[in-house]
Amino acid sequence: MLVLQAGGATVVDALRYERAAILSGEVWRLVSGHFVHLTWAHCLLNVGGLGALAAILPASLCAWRCCVVLATLIGLILFAALPGLQFYAGFSGINYGLAALALLPRARGEAIAAVVLATLVCRAFWQWFGGVNMDAAVWLGAPPLAAAHLAGLAVGTVMLCVPMIRRRREAMGSQANPAGPATR
């Protein structure tokens, strides 16, 4: 992200989420828009968040793979759910998704994880209902996009559920056929 930010406005303009360009076939912008930022402060804030979250992500999860899945799904959600969204740049939706992946499994046993996760969920909903700090919008380069934060939380939560569903299906399959696969 730092290298992309160093590329300046030309790189940001080429990679940001831009609805008209996506509709014209530049579908990579659904993903790449998350990795560019409007200001250095915005970039550094998100890089710091990524570093902290990657450090506490469960060992079974690969941070870069999670980022790619989150970026893709959040981009698709924003495209489908917000037809009026013309431009977007920033990694915070992915950071919210990583927070769900890192904190949700710990929330039952670690009070601090539960409090931080609850705070992030409340903050995202507060932003959704109009709680945008306009001072932050100035140094971020635009108001935060609450929909990206909520989408990140939702996608991160669903990503945790997929392995559980898979294990349950496998367990149910082995119970239905305890002798193993049938042979002829």
Give pLDDT, residue 22: 98
Give pLDDT, residue 143: 86
179 part of a folded domain? no
pLDDT digits (tens, 9 = 90+) for 43-53: 999 999 999 99
How many other CB atoms are found less than 10 A from the CB of residue 121?
A: 16
The domain of 157 spans 2-170
183 part of a folded domain? no
Give pLDDT, residue 181: 58
Tokens 């042979």 -> residue: 183
Query: Over the chain, what is the mean pLDDT?
Result: 91
Q: What are the residues whose beta carbons fall under 8 Å from the beta carbon of 106, sequence distance 6 or more?
A: 113, 114
Percent of the chain with pLDDT over 70: 95
Give pLDDT, residue 164: 76
156 part of a folded domain? yes
DSSP states of 79-140 as a string? Answer: HHH-TT--EE--SHHHHHHHHHHHHGGGTTT-HHHHHHHHHHHHHHHHHHTT---HHHHHHH
pLDDT digits (tens, 9 = 90+) for 60-85: 888 899 999 999 999 999 999 999 99
The domain that contains 93 carries what CATH number?
A: 1.20.1540.10
pLDDT digits (tens, 9 = 90+) for 138-166: 888 888 899 999 999 999 999 999 877 87
Give pLDDT, residue 153: 98
70 contacts 94 by C-beta, under 8 angstroms: yes
166 part of a folded domain? yes
pLDDT digits (tens, 9 = 90+) for 3-14: 999 999 999 999
77 part of a folded domain? yes
Instruction: State how far the Cα of 103 lies from the Cα of 108, in Å rounded to an integer.
Output: 9
Give pLDDT, residue 178: 60
112 part of a folded domain? yes
176 part of a folded domain? no
Domain count of the fold of the chain: 1
Tokens 């904190």 -> residue: 103
Task: Quote the distance between the C-alpha of residue 12 and its chain's center.
Answer: 19
State the pLDDT confidence band at 109, using cuts at 50, 70 and 90. Answer: very high
Question: Which of the two residues, 41 and 130, has the higher pLDDT score?
Answer: 41
Q: What are the residues whose beta carbons fall under 8 Å from the beta carbon of 95, sequence distance 6 or more?
A: 46, 49, 50, 53, 152
State the pLDDT confidence band at 54, using cuts at 50, 70 and 90. Answer: very high
177 part of a folded domain? no
Closest Cα partner for 153 from 110, 100, 85?
Answer: 100
Is the pLDDT at 183 greater than 60? The verdict is: no
102 contacts 53 by C-beta, under 8 angstroms: yes
